[in-house]
Amino acid sequence: MGIVERVNLEKVVFGFFVLLAATLNFGFFLGDMADPSLHNIAELYAAVVVNVIATVLKFGDRTQVGAVHLATSLVADIQLIAAAGVWIWTNQVAGTDVAGPAMASIVSLSGGALLANLVSVVLLVVETVSFRRR
């Protein structure tokens, strides 16, 4: 039996997006809260997109752990979309530079999403470790 036959591709893709969502979010979050030069808007948008993809992948899992995975993903989506919304509002609607209090709000929202993503990663690891071969 080859390695491809033993690996559940669906689980690999799911795990990939859960971990990528967490790492992108962490990359955006890291740095001084009020310094916009340390927080790349493209990284925030990538985190939003990957989190939404991870959420879509979590639909259909009818287990209790699957429900908690979905809940954590929805929380992360809401937090990241709100962060992007604050960035857009500040920059496009208010017409000011994203700095100081606005940047602190954006980073704080991404921090909440990061916490939700970390819970999802912990669930993924616990689920993987407790999996029994049939």
| Coil vs helix vs strand at 84 | helix
pLDDT value at residue 9: 86
Q: What is the per-residue DSSP string for 29-73?
A: H-S-TT-GGGS-HHHHHHHHHHHHHHHHHHTT--SHHHHHHHHHH
What pLDDT was estimated at residue 4?
54
Q: What pTM value is reported for the model?
A: 0.88
One digit per residue, pLDDT tens: the chain, 134 residues? 455 556 788 889 999 999 999 999 999 999 888 888 899 999 999 999 999 999 999 887 888 888 999 999 999 999 999 999 999 999 888 888 888 889 999 999 999 999 999 999 999 999 888 876 55
Determine the pLDDT at residue 132: 66
pLDDT of residue 111: 96
Contact 117, 25 (CB under 8 A): yes
| Alpha-carbon dihedral angle through residues 44, 45, 48, 49, given to the nearest 10 degrees | -140
Tell me what pLDDT residue 73 has. Answer: 95
